[in-house]
C-alpha cells in the first residue's frame, strides 16, 4: 500500500486529474486548439451567434493547423490519434458547438467517406484541398421526411448511359450553402450508394435555413437535387447500403461525445466563476448549499464525461471500439452537457440569458446536438437492443 | 542565417504559481509550457530563417528536465534544441542564466540570438542585455519589424515616444517585444514531428560555467490589496476637488 489517503489540492475543472492520462503530444495538441479558440473564437462568438454569422475566415486557419480530417492518414491529413481528434473537438466545442460541427462535418462526414470508400483518384482529387480548408464539404443523408429512419430516404440515383442522375431533397445539411462538394446518399437499384457531387453541378441548389435559435454560427441548409447529372466516377465505389453513411455518422458521433464535454465544461466554469463573485444576502451565492450542489453535480458530470470520452478514445485507437460504445458516449455525454448548461443557466440568473456569458449560447446549441447525429431516443434503443438482443425497430 | 532563439519553459500561467517555502523559488511542475513571450521570439526566428534559408536552434535552461515547452517551439518549426538540464542551476539568478545561455550559443555558433524582452514568471528583463555584454555583440532591445540580410539586422525599437529604426552588424542579440509578431500555431503534423527533432542536453560543467548565483530571495510578500477609491459627492463644486486630485498625481 502507498501512503495514506489525504486531502489534496484539486483543480476545480480537472478534478480527477485526467490530464495525467494524456501524453505530452496529446496535451500539446489540445492546448494548441484551446489557444486557437481563445484567440480566434471566444472574442467574437457572442456577436457571431447574435448575427447568425459563420466565421469563414477560420476555415483556412483550421486547415493550416491540420484540424480538418486530422485523424485521417495521407492526402495532406495530419494522421493523429483518435484521442487527439477527440480532445480537439472538446476544445472547439468549449468555444462553440457550431465550430465543432463544422470540423465534424468536414472531417468525419465529408472527408471520411472519400478516404474510407473512395477510389484512389477521388482521394487524390478531393482530400488535400479539403484538409487544407480550401474546399468545403457537406454530407447529405437526412431528408425532410427521413431522419432517424434513413432507410426511408426518397432521393434516388438512376443510371443514364454512363452517368448518374440524382433527384431528391436533403434537409438540415450543415455547411450546405458554403460547400464546394457534397457527399450525397441516394437509393439505387442496388441499394443506398454515396456520390461525390460538386455543388456547382447544374440542378444542385442549396437554400440556407434561417430563423434557427440554435447553432447560429453554423450554416444549415436544404439541398435540392433536380436531376443532377454526375459522371460514373462520382460514385463512391467501395461501399453500398446504409452501412456507408452510418459508419460516417459513427465517426462524427465519436467527435461529439468528446465535444459535448467541452460545452459542458464552459458552462460549468462560467457558473462556478459567477457563483463565487455574485453576492446576495451579503455572501457569494456559491456559499449556499443549493448552489454548491448544482456546481458539484456539474463538475462531476464534466469529469465523468471526460473519463468516458477518453476511455472510448483509447478503445478507438486500439481498434476495440464498437458502434454501441459510440451510442453510449453520445447519449450520456450530450445529455450531461445539456443538463449542465441548463443548470448553469439557472445559477447565472438573468445574466444567464444574455450572450455576455457563454451559457445560453451553449444551452441552445446543445438542443441541436441532443437530437442530431442520432437522437437520444435512437441511441437508447441501440443500447436496448444491445443488452436485450431484441430490436425495438422491427 | 544561423539563428539562436532563447526560450523559457514556465508553469502554465493559467494556474496560480506556488513558491517553495525555503528559497521562494517557483515550484516547477513537470508539465511546463512555452513562455508566451518566447512564442513571439520563435516566430521572429522562423520568419528570418524562412527568408534566409537559415536554421533555428532553441536554447533553454531547464533544471526540471521538462520538455513540453521545447516541443511546442519545435512543433512551430524550430529545427533543433539545446537544453541545459542541470540540477545545480535551480534558482539561478539572471546573471547565471545569461552566462549559461551565452556559453551554449557560443559553443553552437550563431549569427543572431533572439530572446523575449522578459519572462512571464521571473520578469527580471535583463538577460538579453547581459548576454550581449558577455558575448560582446550589440543588443537590439524592444524590437519589432525585424529584417535581416547582408550581415546586418534592422529593427524598430519601441521607445516611450514612438519607434527608432536601429541597424546593427551581425552577430547581435535581439530582444523582441510581446506584440512584435503574431506567433503561428503549431501544426498537428509539426507536433507529431517535434518528438523526432534533435534535443541535445548539456550541463553547466560541460559549458565551463560555474553555476554560482549571487542572488538570494530573502522574502516574498503578496501584492497589497487595492484600497477602495474615494468618492467625491458633487455639491456643485466637486470639480475643484477633482482638479486638486489630478494636480496631486501630476496629471495636470
pLDDT digits (tens, 9 = 90+) for B45-57: 999 999 999 999 9
Report the CATH fold assignment for A18-131: Butyryl-Coa Dehydrogenase, subunit A; domain 1 (1.10.540)
Q: Are A152 and A197 in contact (CB under 8 A)?
A: no
Q: B204 in a domain, yes or no?
A: yes
**A198 pLDDT above the threshold of 90:** yes
Q: Cα A169 vs. chain centroid, distance in angstroms?
A: 23
pLDDT band for position B27 (cuts 50, 70, 90): confident
Q: B233 in a domain, yes or no?
A: no
Q: What is the pLDDT of residue B15?
A: 76
Query: Which member of B33, B71, B188 has the closest CB to residue A66?
Result: B188
- Count of Cβ atoms closer than 10 Å to residue B74 Cβ: 28
Does the beta carbon of A134 lie under 8 angstroms from any beta carbon of chain B? no
User: In 3D, which of B56, B133, B126, B142 has the Cα closest to residue B92?
Assistant: B126
**B65 pLDDT above the threshold of 70:** no
Phi-psi region of B149 (alpha: psi -120 to 50; beta: other; left: phi over 0): left
Looking at the structure of chain B, the number of domains it has is 1
User: In 3D, which of B195, B181, B76 has the Cα closest to residue A65?
Assistant: B76
Of chain A residues 46-65, which have a CB less than 8 A from chain B? Answer: 61, 64-65
Q: Which residue on chain B is closest to A33 by alpha carbon?
A: B185
Report the CATH fold assignment for A137-234: Butyryl-CoA Dehydrogenase, subunit A; domain 2 (2.40.110)
Least confident of A179-193, B37-51, B154-168, B207-221: B207-221
DSSP state, A235? B
Q: Which residue on chain B is closest to A19 by alpha carbon?
A: B31
pLDDT band for position A203 (cuts 50, 70, 90): very high
- Read off the pLDDT of residues A3-54 as tens digits, 9 standing for 90 and up: 899 998 899 999 999 999 999 999 999 999 999 999 999 999 999 999 999 9
Mean pLDDT of B26-34: 81
Q: Which residue on chain B is closest to A84 by alpha carbon?
A: B188
Does the beta carbon of A24 lie under 8 angstroms from any beta carbon of chain B? yes
- Count of Cβ atoms closer than 10 Å to residue A145 Cβ: 11
Closest-CA distance, B190 to chain A, in angstroms, reads: 9
Report the CATH fold assignment for A243-388: Butyryl-CoA Dehydrogenase, subunit A; domain 3 (1.20.140)
Q: Tell me the chain A residues in contact with residue B75 when contact means C-beta distances shorter than 8 Å.
A: 28, 32
**B130 pLDDT above the threshold of 80:** yes
Q: B245 in a domain, yes or no?
A: no
User: In 3D, which of A98, A117, A118 has the Cα closest to residue A106?
Assistant: A98
Q: What is the pLDDT of residue B124?
A: 85
Catalytically annotated residues of A:
373
Does the beta carbon of B186 lie under 8 angstroms from any beta carbon of chain A? yes
pLDDT band for position A142 (cuts 50, 70, 90): very high
Q: What is the 3-state secondary structure (H, E, C) of B203-222?
A: CHHHHCCCCCCCCCCCCCCC
- Report CB contact under 8 Å: B68, A28: yes
**Dmax (CA) of chain A:** 79
Closest-CA distance, B106 to chain A, in angstroms, reads: 30
- Read off the pLDDT of residues B141-167 as tens digits, 9 standing for 90 and up: 999 999 987 899 999 999 989 999 999
**A184 pLDDT above the threshold of 70:** yes
- Report CB contact under 8 Å: B188, A11: no
Q: Are B81 and B73 in contact (CB under 8 A)?
A: yes
Q: Are A341 and A362 in contact (CB under 8 A)?
A: yes
Q: The domain containing residue B149 runs over which residues?
A: 2-226
Burial-class residue A230 by CB neighbours within 10 Å (0-12, 13-18, 19+). buried
- Report CB contact under 8 Å: B188, A27: no
Domain edges within chain A? 18-131, 137-234, 243-388
As a whole-number percent, the residues of chain B with pLDDT over 70 amount to 100
Domain containing residue B222: CATH number: 3.40.50.620
Q: B247 in a domain, yes or no?
A: no
Does the beta carbon of B31 lie under 8 angstroms from any beta carbon of chain A? yes
Q: What angle do CA A348, A43, B192 make, to 5 degrees?
A: 110
As a whole-number percent, the residues of chain A with pLDDT over 70 amount to 100
Least confident of A89-93, A106-110, A230-234, B30-34: B30-34
More confident residue, B215 or A132: A132
- Report CB contact under 8 Å: A65, B187: yes
Q: Which three cell numbers stand for residue A313?
A: 478514445
Note the helical H segments in A74-111. 82-95, 97-104
Q: What is the pLDDT of residue B194?
A: 93
Q: Which residue on chain A is closest to B195 by alpha carbon?
A: A25
pLDDT band for position A334 (cuts 50, 70, 90): very high
More confident residue, B36 or B134: B134
pLDDT band for position B231 (cuts 50, 70, 90): confident
**A154 pLDDT above the threshold of 90:** yes
Q: What is the pLDDT of residue B88?
A: 86
Does the beta carbon of B66 lie under 8 angstroms from any beta carbon of chain A? no
Closest-CA distance, A261 to chain B, in angstroms, reads: 20
Amino acid at each position: 500500500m502507498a501512503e495514506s489517503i489525504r486531502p489534496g489540492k484539486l483543480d476545480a475543472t480537472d478534478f480527477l486529474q485526467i490530464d495525467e492520462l494524456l501524453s505530452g503530444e496529446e496535451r500539446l495538441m489540445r492546448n494548441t486548439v484551446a489557444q486557437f479558440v481563445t484567440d480566434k473564437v471566444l472574442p467574437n462568438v457572442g456577436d457571431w451567434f447574435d448575427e447568425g454569422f459563420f466565421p469563414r475566415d477560420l476555415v483556412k486557419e483550421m486547415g493550416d493547423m491540420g484540424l480538418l480530417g486530422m485523424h485521417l492518414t495521407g492526402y495532406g491529413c495530419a494522421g493523429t490519434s483518435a484521442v487527439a481528434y477527440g480532445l480537439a473537438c472538446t476544445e472547439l466545442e468549449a468555444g462553440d458547438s457550431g465550430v465543432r460541427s463544422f470540423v465534424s462535418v468536414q472531417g468525419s462526414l465529408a472527408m471520411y467517406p472519400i478516404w474510407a470508400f473512395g477510389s484512389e483518384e477521388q482521394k487524390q482529387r478531393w482530400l488535400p484541398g479539403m484538409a487544407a480548408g480550401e474546399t468545403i464539404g457537406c454530407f447529405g443523408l437526412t431528408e425532410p421526411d427521413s431522419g432517424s429512419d434513413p432507410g426511408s430516404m426518397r432521393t434516388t440515383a438512376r443510371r443514364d448511359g454512363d452517368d448518374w442522375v440524382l433527384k431528391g431533397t436533403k434537409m438540415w445539411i450543415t455547411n450546405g450553402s458554403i460547400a464546394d462538394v457534397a457527399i450525397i446518399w441516394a437509393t439505387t437499384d442496388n441499394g443506398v450508394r454515396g456520390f461525390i457531387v460538386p455543388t456547382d453541378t447544374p440542378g444542385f441548389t442549396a437554400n440556407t435555413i434561417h430563423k434557427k435559435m440554435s447553432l447560429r454560427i453554423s450554416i444549415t441548409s436544404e439541398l435540392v437535387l433536380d436531376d443532377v447529372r454526375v459522371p460514373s466516377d462520382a460514385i463512391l465505389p467501395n461501399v453500398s447500403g446504409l452501412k456507408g453513411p452510418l459508419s460516417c455518422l459513427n465517426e462524427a458521433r465519436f467527435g461529439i461525445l468528446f465535444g459535448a464535454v467541452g460545452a459542458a465544461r464552459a458552462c460549468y466554469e462560467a457558473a462556478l466563476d459567477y457563483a463565487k463573485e455574485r453576492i446576495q444576502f451579503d455572501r457569494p451565492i456559491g456559499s449556499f448549499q443549493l448552489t454548491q450542489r448544482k456546481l458539484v453535480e456539474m463538475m462531476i458530470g464534466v469529469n465523468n464525461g471526460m473519463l468516458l470520452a477518453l476511455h472510448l478514445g483509447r478503445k478507438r485507437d486500439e481498434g476495440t471500439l464498437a458502434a454501441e460504445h459510440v451510442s453510449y458516449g453520445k447519449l450520456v455525454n450530450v445529455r450531461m452537457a445539456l443538463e449542465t448548461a441548463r443548470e448553469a443557466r439557472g445559477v447565472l440568473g438573468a445574466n444567464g440569458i444574455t450572450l455576455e456569458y457563454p451559457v445560453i449560447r451553449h444551452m441552445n446549441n446543445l438542443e441541436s446536438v441532443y437530437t442530431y447525429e442520432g437522437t437520444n431516443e435512437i441511441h437508447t434503443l441501440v443500447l436496448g437492443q444491445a443488452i436485450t438482443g431484441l430490436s425495438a425497430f422491427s | 542565417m544561423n539563428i539562436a532563439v532563447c526560450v523559457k519553459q514556465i508553469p502554465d500561467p493559467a494556474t496560480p504559481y506556488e513558491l517553495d517555502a525555503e528559497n521562494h523559488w517557483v515550484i516547477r511542475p513537470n508539465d511546463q509550457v512555452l513562455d508566451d513571450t518566447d512564442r513571439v521570439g520563435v516566430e521572429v526566428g522562423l520568419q528570418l530563417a524562412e527568408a534566409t534559408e537559415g536554421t533555428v536552434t532553441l536554447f533553454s535552461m531547464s533544471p526540471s528536465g521538462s520538455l513540453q515547452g521545447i516541443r511546442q517551439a519545435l512543433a512551430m518549426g524550430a529545427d533543433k534544441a539545446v537544453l541545459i538540464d542541470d540540477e545545480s542551476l535551480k534558482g539561478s539568478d539572471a546573471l547565471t542564466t545569461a552566462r549559461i545561455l551565452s556559453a551554449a550559443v557560443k559553443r553552437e555558433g550563431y549569427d543572431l540570438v533572439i530572446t523575449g524582452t522578459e519572462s512571464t514568471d521571473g520578469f527580471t528583463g535583463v538577460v538579453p542585455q547581459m548576454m550581449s555584454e558577455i558575448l560582446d555583440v550589440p543588443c537590439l532591445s524592444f524590437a519589432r519589424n525585424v529584417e535581416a540580410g547582408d550581415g546586418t539586422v534592422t529593427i524598430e525599437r519601441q521607445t516611450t515616444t514612438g519607434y527608432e529604426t536601429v541597424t546593427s552588424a551581425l552577430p547581435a542579440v535581439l530582444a523582441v517585444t510581446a506584440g512584435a509578431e503574431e506567433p503561428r500555431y503549431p501544426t498537428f503534423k509539426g507536433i507529431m514531428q517535434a518528438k523526432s527533432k534533435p534535443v541535445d542536453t548539456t550541463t553547466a560543467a560541460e559549458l565551463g560555467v560555474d553555476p554560482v548565483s549571487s542572488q538570494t530571495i530573502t522574502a516574498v510578500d503578496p501584492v497589497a490589496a487595492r484600497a477602495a477609491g474615494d468618492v467625491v459627492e458633487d455639491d456643485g463644486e466637486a470639480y475643484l476637488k477633482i482638479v486638486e486630485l489630478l494636480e496631486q498625481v501630476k496629471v495636470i
